[in-house]
């Protein structure tokens, strides 16, 4: 998978985090910018029914209604927990449903004949599990931040970016490694 494609798909989350944490942009504008980004950069993925694109758009739409329409500003400090929690739930849900979310992106890069290949299926389960672990790191960091504001310092900053950037880089590099490893081990290793 291409790192840039995944970063673009997750860019509404990155925009949200960057604007909330590092700029004086009003929260309302940040929220609407993230929602707009989810529609603009996610158009193709939304059309193709990618679960992450729909999750992203629905998350920012629901939060926009809750905060901007209903006025539930008290949920704002919990949005880091909510965002990582939602992404973790969708990631785990996609694994349990037998349709790891990374498969949707990977199918764009391989022929249709490869979609049922055991190596392709196993690789996407592994990639999605890694994303799940990244979201666990993000969720843990956000929960600790809510419980102990400022205690983690720079660790919190790193954990804001690690899930998405780490997941995207791993997703771009791991398939080549896994393929080389499988070819060295022989044909039987592909089926494990």
Query: Could you give the number of structural domains in the chain?
Result: 1
Query: Please, are residues 162 and 13 in contact by the beta-carbon 8 Å criterion?
Result: no
Q: What is the pLDDT of residue 129?
A: 97
- The tens digit of pLDDT for each residue in 90-118 reads 999 999 999 999 999 999 989 999 999 99
Q: Which domain holds residue 156?
A: 3-186
Mean pLDDT taken over the chain: 90
**pLDDT tens readout for residues 145-159:** 889 887 767 777 777
Residue 192 placed within a domain: no
Is 151 contained in some domain?
yes
- Separation CA 19–CA 17 (nearest Å): 6
Query: Lowest mean pLDDT: which of 7-21, 55-69, 138-152?
Result: 138-152
Residue 181 lies inside a defined structural domain of this protein: yes
Quote the pLDDT of residue 83.
Answer: 95
pTM exceeds 0.75, yes or no: yes
For residue 108, being part of any structural domain is answered with yes
Asked if residue 191 is part of any domain, the answer here is no
Q: For residues 2 and 4, what is the distance between their CA atoms, to the nearest angstrom?
A: 5
Confidence (pLDDT) at 191: 45
Evaluate if residue 188 carries a pLDDT over 80: no
**Is residue 121 within 8 Å of residue 143, measured between CB atoms?**
no
């Amino acid at each position: 998978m291409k790192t840039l494609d995944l970063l673009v798909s997750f860019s509404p989350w990155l925009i949200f985090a960057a604007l909330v944490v590092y700029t004086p942009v009003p929260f309302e504008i940040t929220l609407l910018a993230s929602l707009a980004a989810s529609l603009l950069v996610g158009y193709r993925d939304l059309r193709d029914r990618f679960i992450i694109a729909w999750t992203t758009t629905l998350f920012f739409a629901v939060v926009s209604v809750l905060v901007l329409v209903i006025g539930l500003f008290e949920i704002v400090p919990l949005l880091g927990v909510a965002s990582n929690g939602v992404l973790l739930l969708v990631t785990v849900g996609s694994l349990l449903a037998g349709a790891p979310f990374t498969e949707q992106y990977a199918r764009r890069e391989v022929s249709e004949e490869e979609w049922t290949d055991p190596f392709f299926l196993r690789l996407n389960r592994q990639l999605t599990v890694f994303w799940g672990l990244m979201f666990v790191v993000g969720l843990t960091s956000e929960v600790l931040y809510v419980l102990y504001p400022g205690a983690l310092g720079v660790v919190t900053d790193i954990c804001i970016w690690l899930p998405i950037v780490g997941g995207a880089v791993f997703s771009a590099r791991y398939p080549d490694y896994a393929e080389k490893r499988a070819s060295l081990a022989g044909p039987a290793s592909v089926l494990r």
